[in-house]
Chains A and B, each alone.
Chain A
Amino acid sequence: MDIDLETFRAETRAWLEENCPPAMRTPMRSEKDATWGGRNPVFAHPDQKLWMDRMGARGWTVPDWPSEYGGGGLSPAETKILREEMARLKCRNPLNSFGISMLGPALLKYGTEAQKLEHLPRIARGEMRWCQGYSEPNAGSDLAGLQASAEDAGDHYIVNGQKVWTSYADQADWIFCLVRTDKTSKQGGISFVLFDMASEGVSTKPILLISGNSPFCETFFDNVKVPKANRVHDENKGWDVAKYLLGHEREMISGMGLASRGEDPLIESARRGVDPILRAQIALFEVRSKAFSAMSERFIDELKAGRAHPAQPSMMKYYGTELNKARHELLMAAGGSDTLEWESEASNHGAAPRAWLRTKANSIEGGTSEIQLNIIAKRILDLPS
């Protein structure tokens, strides 16, 4: 065993025990418990801010990013140890962030030095909340069909158009956005730009979903001025950035099929007693869930070692989201009428049925299951068009 790594593990464990507040070692009861940070952060519990700030100051919200950009500068092995020690203590994720899981990796690969220095440290510390402007009313699964336009106006673009399914657009500070800079080429006419949601001409409207919540918005751009310095990568090369970022989005979403850290609520409800047929269904589900947990570990290890197939995130996204839907179907079945109350205190304001309904979007957002299967078939199995 590597002595340096063992020392790192011991120090990490000690630091987490000292610094992770007890309230941040309990399972999250609903989406409201997630920490998102931002210019106007909302915390359901004061310890959320403490935990986010402590981890952010250490760069451990993004442990494997370089330290000059606010990261922890940890090696893959150290990052894995940190993750294991956090899981051991049942630490909550200190910061939920599309900046971390999606934009950050894209900026690290395609951003200018100035862009990296401006945005990455703020993402790491949870100071800026980002949203993603990808889908449009007529460009969902066919994402490259997008129409929102960016007209060249010298040192800036004038952006017009509409996005849809913009997660938390109404609460985000900045947006990373795909815009059309050339109408003559489909995938070759797209650019990737960043801008402040407080810019003149940006408006958002939440979309009420079947869960009764509205994490998604319609977003409108009316002559929004975007400096060209905010364009990531070359003009008309935004599709490269978008694809790279989608891989990371799929990685992030694929984690959803796994049981939350700590006790698996599905197993807890099975222990309280369910009928034999449901017990069998839960047991068979757990086989897949535990096997997928091994797959996730393998995937991360292969990614870090540069051994993963570039299209493998599609498999992870497909499998993880289908599993997560199955998990919530079983949770509803196991909970019976207790899981049907929509508003009561006892039901934590319908946390279970709302979460169940929310999962139905898992196999739609970030590329539908069918799109992922297309990608696996063509890029991994090499099946013909």
Chain B
Amino acid sequence: MPLYLTDEQQMLRDTARDFVAEHAPISHMRSLRDANDATGFSRELWKQFAELGLTGILIPEADNGLGLGHVEAGVVLEEIGRNLSPSPFLTTAVAAVEALKGSPHAVRWFPGILAGETVVAVAIDERGKHDGKIAMKAERAGNGFRLTGAKQFVAHGHVADLLLVAAATDHGTTLFAVPTDAKGLTADPQRLADSSLAARLSFDGVEVDADAVVGEVDQGDGHLARLLSAGRTGASAELLGVGGGAMDMTIAYLKERKQFGQVIGSFQALQHRAAHLYSEMEVARAAVLKAQQLLDAGDERAANAVSVAKAMTGLATSLAVQEGIQMHGGIGMTDEYDIGFYMKRARVLAELFGDTNFHADALAQAAGY
């Protein structure tokens, strides 16, 4: 398969680009922030995503979805990133759908996702850095389990209809689908630097039925791996959008801002940095598409490619937002101007599902050093 978008994928990109730019441009995020919106995203917009079929992008056709792949999901996520649109798309339509696909939970939850009514949050991290460690315990209780522990950095965790929770069971890891009205579960939503909301979740002996288990008890690693691969690849695509959006805004500024009687884009010092930034972003774009294609093909090299994509988009986008602020000069530091939002969003996405260092380390371990 050639490493560029097919005509169909480009058409989908154009649709997504137009839709997101029209319905959820940066001003949409800004107004939610200014209103101190407690949900953190627009339910109405989520419905509109559903009406276009986008919430079912990864849901199999047999389950009434579009039955498309990670390349297509990424096309949508890139536009979400470019417009800094607050959306549960990544956690719900990508990470959760991938984890639930083929399980009995799909029957229960996919219709709501397809209708744009259901939001799923992913509760994986327990400390300030993403790692594989799971301290949360799930002990057998009655015909189900009792969950005790805490999770953090759970996007939409306070408003989701369902939580996907990784917990340690007697002989391994188990993934649970936990309804958010479960007793003993409390969510403490906190606004993050990018004005999105993420919850700290506390599980105080939360009891769930045995059928809350996704897949098999103690055998959750496979489901978790699928969730994480999808989430990481999706986050890479969204980061690509954030970096690309920041770069485009910056290049446009270089062409209009005048100093010393000339547009500053004519200065070689800035041209070289802009050209370097372009190069990093292009390389990151290739890495993301490679990961998406390998994931869609079920190729065993996908895991490494996903780490490359997440690490590389972290590097490139970080450069894009830093150069964005610097090249904008003083105005780039103002809240009124949008470029700063890109820096904040990039930082949050960089941490999500493991940052550049985490994934570089994973590559090193996989290579045996």
Residues of A within 8 A of B (CB): 267, 270-271, 274, 279-280, 282-284, 286-288, 290-292, 294-295, 297-299, 301-302, 304-305, 307, 315, 318-319, 370, 372-374, 376-378, 380-385
Nearest CB of A to B273, in Å: 9
In the bound complex, residues from chain A placing their C-beta under 8 Å from that of B251 are 381, 383
Would you give the shortest CB distance from A141 to chain B, in whole angstroms?
A: 13
- CB of B339 within 8 Å of the partner chain: no
The reply to whether B2 and A282 form a contact with Cβ atoms under 8 Å apart is no
Chain A minimum-CB-distance residue to B314: A287
9 A-B contacts, Cβ less than 8 Å apart?
A: A282-B369, A287-B359, A294-B289, A298-B289, A302-B4, A305-B4, A318-B279, A377-B274, A383-B254
Q: Which residues of B contact A290 (CB under 8 A)?
A: 287, 304-305, 308, 363
Closest residue of chain B to A315 (Cβ to Cβ) is: B279
Q: Is the pair B4, A307 in contact by a Cβ cutoff of 8 Å?
A: yes
Knowing A298-B286, A381-B251, A383-B271 touch, does A286 contact B4 (C-beta < 8 A)? no
Residue of A nearest to B359 (CB): A287
Interface with A: B71-79, B83-91, B130-138, B260-268, which one?
B260-268
B293: min CB distance to chain A, Å:
10
Which residue of chain B lies nearest to A382 when distances are taken between CB atoms in the complex? B255
A286-B363 in contact given A291-B308, A305-B2 (Cβ < 8 Å) = yes
16 further interface pairs, Cβ-Cβ under 8 Å (given A290-B287, A290-B305, A384-B266): A267-B369, A270-B367, A271-B368, A280-B361, A287-B312, A287-B315, A287-B360, A288-B315, A294-B3, A298-B3, A302-B4, A305-B4, A377-B275, A380-B275, A383-B265, A385-B266
Cβ A384 vs Cβ B263 within 8 A: yes
B167 within 8 A of A: no
Q: Are B4 and A295 in contact (CB under 8 A)?
A: no
A279, A299, A377: the one contacting B272 at CB < 8 Å is: A377
Question: A305 CA to B274 CA in the complex, in Å?
Answer: 27
Chain B 1-55 interface residues, beta-carbon cutoff 8 Å to A: 2-4
A284 vs chain B, min Cβ distance (A): 5
Query: In the assembly, what is the distance between CA of A271 and CA of B266, in Å?
Result: 47
Q: Is the CB of B312 within 8 A of A288?
A: yes
- B286 with A295: CB separation less than 8 A: yes
Identity of the chain A residue whose Cβ is nearest the Cβ of B304 in the assembled complex: A290
Contact pattern, B 224-262, Cβ under 8 Å of A = 1, otherwise 0: 000000000000000000000000000100110000000
A270 and B283 in contact (CB under 8 A), knowing A284-B356, A377-B272? no
Q: Are A288 and B272 in contact (CB under 8 A)?
A: no
Q: A287-B308, A294-B289 are in contact. Are A319 and B4 (CB under 8 A)?
A: no
Judge whether B161 is part of the interface by a CB distance below 8 angstroms.
Answer: no
Q: In whole Å, how far is B52's beta carbon from the nearest beta carbon of chain A?
A: 27
- Closest CB of chain B to A383's CB: distance in Å? 4
Residue of A nearest to B267 (CB): A383
- State which of B271, B309, B315, B364 has its C-beta within 8 Å of the C-beta of A283: B364
In contact, B255 and A383 (Cβ under 8 angstroms): yes
With A280-B360, A291-B312, A384-B255 as known contacts, state yes or no: A301 contacts B287, CB within 8 Å: no
Residues of B participating in the A interface, judged by any CB pair closer than 8 Å: 2-4, 251, 254-255, 263, 265-266, 268, 271-272, 274-276, 278-279, 282-287, 289-290, 304-305, 307-309, 311-312, 315, 356-357, 359-361, 363-364, 367-369
B286 touches A297 (CB 8 A): yes
A298–B275 touching, CB < 8 Å: no
Report chain A residues within 8 Å CB of B276: 318, 373
Who on chain A is nearest to B268 by CB? A374
| Cβ B255 vs Cβ A373 within 8 A | no
* Closest CB in chain A relative to B61 CB, distance in Å: 21
Bound Cα distance A319, B290 (Å): 18
List, in ascending order, chain A residues with CB within 8 A of B356's CB. 284, 287
Q: Which residues of A have CB within 8 Å of B272?
A: 370, 373-374, 377
**Shortest Cβ gap from A288 to chain B (Å):** 7
Chain A interface mostly helix, strand, loop or mixed?
helix
Q: Are A286 and B360 in contact (CB under 8 A)?
A: yes
> A384 contacts which chain B residues (CB < 8 A)?
255, 263, 265-266
| Contact of A283 with B254 at beta-carbon distance under 8 Å, contacts A301-B4, A374-B268 already known | no
Complex interface: chain A residues within 8 A of B309 (CB): 291
CB pair B265–A270 under 8 Å, yes or no, is no
Pair A297/B3 contact, Cβ less than 8 Å: yes
Query: B282 near A315 (CB under 8 angstroms)?
Result: yes
Alpha-carbon separation in the docked complex, A286 to B2 (Å) = 23
Closest to A285 in B: B360
The contact of A373 among B275, B286, B369, by CB within 8 Å, is B275
Contact of B369 among A270, A315, A319, A383 (CB under 8 A): A270
CB-CB under 8 A for A383 and B266, given A279-B364, A282-B364, A374-B271:
yes
Which 8 pairs between the two chains have the least Cβ-Cβ distance? A377-B271, A376-B275, A291-B287, A270-B369, A294-B290, A295-B286, A298-B3, A283-B360
Residues in A neighbouring B361, C-beta threshold 8 A? 280, 283
| From A370, A378, A381, residue with most partner B Cβ within 10 Å | A381
B residues in contact with A270, CB < 8 Å: 364, 367, 369
A271 touches B3 (CB 8 A): no
Report A-chain residues with C-beta under 8 Å of the C-beta of B255. Answer: 382-384
Q: Is the CB of A373 within 8 A of B2?
A: no
CB contact under 8 A between A381 and B278, given known A292-B283, A374-B271: yes
Q: Which of B271, B284, B364 lies in contact with A291, CB distance below 8 A?
A: B284
Question: In the docked arrangement, what's the CA distance between A57 and B86, Å?
Answer: 60
- Tell me the bound Cα distance from A68 to B240 in angstroms: 45
CA distance A267 to B268 in the complex (A): 37
Q: Which residues of A contact B274 (CB under 8 A)?
A: 377, 381, 383
Q: Is the CB of A279 within 8 A of B4?
A: no
Cα separation A383 to B274 with both chains bound (whole Å) = 9
CB neighbours of A307 from chain B (8 A):
4
Say whether A373 contacts B271, CB under 8 Å.
yes
CA distance A385 to B268 in the complex (A): 9
The answer to whether B290 touches A283, judged by C-beta atoms less than 8 angstroms apart, is no
CB A323 to nearest CB in B, in angstroms, measures 9
How far apart are the CA atoms of A385 and B271 in the complex, in Å?
A: 10
Do residues A319 and B283 form an inter-chain contact, with CB atoms below 8 A?
Answer: yes
Contacts of A283 in B (CB 8 A): 360-361, 363-364
Q: Nearest-CB distance from B229 to chain A (Å)?
A: 16
**Chain B proximity of A118: nearest CB distance (Å):** 35
Q: Give the Cβ gap from B278 to chain A, nearest Cβ, in Å.
A: 6
A319 to B276, CA, bound (A): 8
Please, how many angstroms separate the alpha-carbon atoms of A302 and B285 in the complex? Answer: 13
Give Cα A304 to B2, complex, Å. 10
A287 x B363 contact (CB < 8 A): yes
B286, A294: Cβ atoms closer than 8 Å: yes
| CB contact between B286 and one of A279, A291, A304 (< 8 Å): that residue | A291
Q: Which of A270, A282, A318, A383 has the most CB of B within 10 A?
A: A383
Q: How far is the CB of A384 from chain B (nearest CB, A)?
A: 5
The residue of chain B having its C-beta at the shortest distance from the C-beta of A300 within the complex is: B3
